[in-house]
Chain A
Amino acid sequence: MPVGPGLDLLFGPGGPETTQAPPRESCRPTEEATTRIPGVESSRRSRNATFALLVPAIAAAVSLAACSGTPPSTLKPHGPGAARIAGLWWFMFAVSAFVVVLIGALLLFSILPRRRRKGDDPDTTPAWATRMVVVGGVVFPVVVLSVLWVLTLQDMDALSQPSRPARLEIHVTGYQWWWKVAYPQQGFVTANDIHIPTGQPVRVLLTTFDVNHSFWVPQLTGKTDLIAGKPNTTWIEADNPGVYRGQCAEYCGLQHANMIFDVVAQRPADYQVWVTRQQQGAPPAATTDLLHGEQVFLSQPCVACHTVRGTPARGTVGPDLTDFGDRLSIGAGAVPNTPGYLGGWIIDSQGVKPGNKMPPIELPAQDLQDLIAWLESMR
């Protein structure tokens, strides 16, 4: 329940009117940022129109706000897996703190100036010293570690399977450096945002397209690696609606730092609405500007790499963009999804996330503006 205020507004007391609210509102930029991109119109005739877009993009980067609900703290769990692990942590923390304080105190005591007791002979070992080694070094650790091992086994057992069968299965594939998210049961594919219904376990099948990655949503559960040639599974469950930040945790190359994703947990009814929209594909362009934007997309190299269901675009090199307007971020968490950042990304994604596979796309200003509008309209 400790969701950010924005999320409270968004997911707070459920009702028919809120069910339509898409989670992206939580990180919708402020009004200034969403207004028309400055520079585009003023320099429409300029040959360097595209570069003018960089200015607001960079300006916005300074005030970059994370797109997530709560910081991804393992100590603020929002699911049964992470909660169980947090419990284990607090037990171990208590024992550890006791040990550190005890040994710290013994260390301080050992160097305090004190009178030598009778019989303190530097050549013989007093009986208490041997007892101290046996009790402190063997007996105490054996007892504590045995308890810890039992707790470990219990938690391993509890976490290996959810308490009730997971009906929903999601197939996540790691790419350098983004996440493909497939819903085989519902028959659609998205990317970098993983929508799940709250209050039920979801099985996540993990494979990698290239190198090893690791799937980590600290507030939901521990990591599972994506291993080349070895499909893994894990399960996640969110107790409350919210956006839970996830990030690749296995070093995977140049942009390991920007291989971020978000788990968007929605009330089952909201989730169902989202699924239905996904299944319908991209909405038809409603205005001439949007139609022009779609044509720009289809006439550019974009289609070689991206899929937009409902259009001829069928590329599979990059993320599916069918619900792009709903996405929380661009470039797998590199920047928030705002028209300004999107413009910067299209013309110079290498400046934003060096090494990613998308080439710079040079576009006349009007084309760019319509393309951005069309992409953001798909929600």
Chain B
Amino acid sequence: MDVSLEGRLEHLWEEAPGLGSWLATVDHKRIGKRYIYTAFVFFLIAGVEALIMRAQLARPDETLVGPQAFNELFSMHGITMIFFFVTPMLFGFGNYFVPLQIGTRDMAFPRLNAFGFWIFLFAGLFMYSSFLIGKAPDNGWFNYTPFSGKAFSPGLNADYYTLGLIFLGISTTAGAFNFIVTIFKLRAPGMSIVRMPLYVWAILATSFAVVFALPSLTMANVMLELDRRLGMHFFDPAHGGSSILWQHLFWIFGHPDVYIIFLPAVGIVSSIVPVFSRRRIVGYLWLALATMATGVIGFGVWVHHMFAVGLPNLSMAFFSAASLLITIPSGVQIFAWLATIISGKPVLKTPMLFVLGFLFVFVVGGVTGVMFAAVPFDQQITDSYFVVAHFHYVLFGGAVFPIFGAIHYWVPKMWGRLMDEGLGRLSFWLIFLGFNLTFFPMHISGLLGMPRRIYTYHAGLGWDLWNLLSTIGSFVLSLGILVVVANFFRSLRSGRPAGPDPWGGESLEWATSSPPPPYNFLEIPIVRSGEPVWDQPELREHAVRVQELTLAEEHETLGTSVLDAQPESILPMPEESYTPVATAFGIAVLFVGLLTGLYPVIVLGGLAGIAGLLAWFRVKEPEP
């Protein structure tokens, strides 16, 4: 056995190669990469769905796809982008970088982490299996009752939606709790809560939002499935139920979900801005507080999705005020980033280009967002293409631009190779111009009275030109995305070696090699600053300093206190395990049983899941 520190840690943390370890891995970096790969595949699929829709809408009375296909396309586009792309993608980056940025060796619950990925993958396959039998969800991502009830949607389409999202919710919830505990308990000693990187703040706020918002969606789906399968009447007004109840439950989840998507992206921006502005971030506390405030206020604005439902004016006035209020944290963030860039010395590499593009696009989406708080205007423009324009500006602009920034920023860390700067610039401009050409005209078609979710429209309504422009833009945008993909694979093959710190970063992921070793850090770093790699030269030397916190005797990491990150305990960490994938598979079988209504399959899946959990929780005797 190698007796050097590296050798000992390697022995303790390295996972054996091969299929077995591929299924059993609990390494947060491998799992993070899987999340990113899988989510990106879903992104491409949902992108193709969007392109087909844009082709259908390119001109009036087009017959490329029929109404049923179109309705499935826009439903699956929304479901995929929201549930199977953005959140898993951001969870993927979180998985990889939260442990690195807080200076620990893994997530707090590595097996739960693996379990979350497998559930995500199986739920995605479950949802997309609907296309194989021609029963893809066709009620939109919002699945309003009573249309989604058995009477109007007798097919399995709506069951795929409800069961698929309940299934996926297990993964998101597990991931959120894991982030919360990891961030609270595994930070490197000295990383008090006010020294946490803003990205970590953002993941924390997002995780809390998930924990409080997701149950509403899950419960709504459980109730709807009970209505559909067992003839209950939660959403059936004819028998004392309420169809508006679904809308409330959905948007109590749905609006916070906007921030669940947006906040991690904000965290990415706060990571990139200071590094490429060559100065400390302006207003760290403002930004941290704004992040948390957004997460909290986000729960008080859901009714602005329902201003046309016919609610009392008093209640609409309240939600109007709340919806205006939530602009303020975003404004603070934007001006803090601007002040940082202005007072710094910006370096316009690709990650920064995507951040600058984000700032502009997000401001446009932000000002149109404010308009929806103005109740009468909302009533005029809701469910029109103006809304489609708005939320693509905030979701594509607010989340996907930062995600592309993150790809260019962090790929060198994850794979050890730089992406090409020229291709990076090309992809940025294609995406930026294509994006604006796609979505800006939708503001206009919306103002001209074009409703959402229509599979065709007649000529002569003033919508033709704007739709054609949108379609052209969507293909330019797609080209830009393909350039990113090409750039990525090119960098894997022939990218220049990145070295540990290609950008001159300030947070701890830059204090280890690229890609990081399985144990992340030779020694748990001791943090004395909010920008440790800038302020603690010893961290840049990637060497062992005091040999106090190497934790090289066992497979373990350090637990610290919640606020001050004082060392509290040595936490033994679990080894590779098949139990997460086995349990997830059992649950997948259970959901297939629920979908098909085959009781033996339900029982089989349930038993397999329970068996997996029992094996999971079996206490392993310490090795002699």
Contacts and interface: CB of A to CB of B under 8 A. Distances in A.
A230 B244 contact: yes
Given A66-B460, A99-B363, A126-B343, A88 B144 contact: no
Interface in A205-238: 210-212, 214, 216, 218-219, 221-225, 227-230, 232-233
B379 interface: yes
Interface stretch (A138-146, A165-173, A190-198): A138-146
A92 B345 contact: no
A317 interface: no
A136 interface: yes
Interface stretch (A241-249, A268-276, A280-288): A241-249
A115 to B, nearest CB: 11
Interface of B: 60-61, 66-68, 71, 139-140, 144-147, 152, 237-238, 241-244, 278-280, 282-283, 286, 308-310, 313, 316-317, 320-321, 324-325, 327-328, 331-336, 338-346, 348, 356, 359-360, 363-364, 367-368, 370-371, 373-384, 447-449, 451-463
Given A71-B449, A247-B449, A103 B359 contact: yes
Nearest to A99: B367
A1 interface: no
Nearest to B374: A152
B133 to A, nearest CB: 19
Nearest to A84: B376
B534 to A, nearest CB: 9
A212 B283 CA distance: 47
Contacts of B67: 254-255, 257, 354-355
Contacts, number: 280
Contacts of B244: 227, 230
A74 B449 contact: yes
Contacts of A124: 280
A223 B377 contact: no
Contacts of B333: 137
Contact of B280 (A109, A122, A218): A122
B310 A225 contact: yes
A145 B370 contact: yes
Contacts of A133: 282-283, 286, 332, 335-336, 339
A74 B452 CA distance: 15
Contact of B360 (A95, A107, A222): A107
B341 A96 contact: no
A9 interface: no
B308 A222 contact: yes
Contact of A253 (B152, B308, B340, B344): B152
B370 A136 contact: no
Interface of A: 61, 64-66, 68, 71-75, 82, 84-85, 88-89, 92, 95-96, 99-100, 103-104, 106-107, 109-111, 116, 120, 122-126, 128-130, 132-133, 136-138, 140-142, 145, 148-149, 151-153, 155-157, 159-160, 176, 210-212, 214, 216, 218-219, 221-225, 227-230, 232-233, 245, 247-258, 333, 354-355
Contact of A229 (B243, B313, B460): B243
Nearest to B310: A232
B370 A96 contact: yes
Contacts of A96: 367-368, 370-371
A66 B462 CA distance: 11
B458 A64 contact: yes
Contacts of B147: 211-212, 251-253
Nearest to B344: A122
A301 B380 CA distance: 40
A141 B346 contact: no
Contact of B282 (A109, A129, A212): A129
